[in-house]
Amino acid sequence: MYKRQGSGFRKPAETAMVGNLDAEITGVVSNHKNGGVRKHAGQLGIKFYYFPGPFTADAYQYFWHETRADFIATSGWLKKVLGIPGNVAFNIHPGPLPLTEGLYKHHVHDKVLAAFKNGEITHTEVCMHFITPEFDKGPIFFRCPIQLLVDDTASTIQERVNRIEHAYQWYISNQVVTGQIYWDGIHPESLVGAKDHLMTA
């Protein structure tokens, strides 16, 4: 599955199967006008939307309504999401939370490696969580622990994390868009479905 800056999904009842995802991708949004996201979207026949900012609640709502999406997956999207209900948008994060809150790309794995060398952790993680206005603080509905090795570098950690992301992202996303994982968008204790998806790599 390609990493997209953001993907919109219609309700499964209204769409056909797309690959292994029981939903239709109604649009892909990127803040890079002519990057790889646009290229991949074109190859797959998916409508591309260029979103250069400003990254305001009104702007997010505009693209949400343009795509007519019921869910928004922000895989690879590095901007704060505003103006979208908390039970609509979700994210995949390549490190343990809350340890790596607000970090991205190699910064996540650098932090993980330092914590491992200091004896603070033995595993990194792939996490998926719903999105709230604060970075990486929404309810977590998927954790996949990945054991760290004595000879690990930030690059080797990233490689293993990427494999887990690619293996599970479509499957767990499908649990969200088909209503098996959900919350009310306000109260974290309302989260349903997360405990069934705690896996170990």
Same domain, 47 and 146: no
> Of 59, 79, 99, which one is at a domain's C-terminal end?
79
- Structural domains counted in the chain: 2
pLDDT score recorded for residue 24: 86
Q: What is the CATH number of the domain that holds 153?
A: 3.40.50.170
How far apart are the C-alpha atoms of 95 and 105, rounded to whole Å? 10
3 has a pLDDT exceeding 70: no
Same domain, 104 and 190: yes
pLDDT score recorded for residue 101: 95
Question: CB neighbours of 102 closer than 8 A, spacing ≥ 6?
Answer: 135, 136
Same domain, 43 and 94: no
Q: What are the DSSP calls for 130-142, one per residue?
A: E--SSTT-SPEEE
Same domain, 70 and 114: no
Same domain, 66 and 102: no
Whether the upstream peptide bond of residue 139 has omega within 30° of 0, thus cis, is no
Structural domain boundaries, residue 152: 85-201
Same domain, 74 and 97: no
Q: Could you give the dihedral angle defined by the CA atoms of residues 78, 83, 87 and 89, in that order, rounded to the nearest 10 degrees?
A: -30
Same domain, 189 and 118: yes
Same domain, 98 and 187: yes
Same domain, 92 and 29: no
> Of 63, 79, 95, which one is at a domain's C-terminal end?
79
Question: CB neighbours of 150 closer than 8 A, spacing ≥ 6?
Answer: none
Same domain, 69 and 98: no
Q: CA 177 from chain center: how many Å?
A: 13
Same domain, 55 and 110: no
Same domain, 101 and 68: no
Confidence (pTM): 0.85
Encode pLDDT of 73-130 as tens digits: 998 888 999 999 999 999 999 999 999 999 999 999 999 999 999 999 999 999 999 9
Q: What are the DSSP calls for 80-125, one per residue?
A: PP-SS-TTTEEEEESS-TTTTTT--THHHHHHHHHHHHTTS-SEEE
Encode pLDDT of 128-184 as tens digits: 999 998 889 999 999 999 999 999 999 999 999 999 998 899 899 999 999 999 999
> Of 29, 63, 79, which one is at a domain's C-terminal end?
79
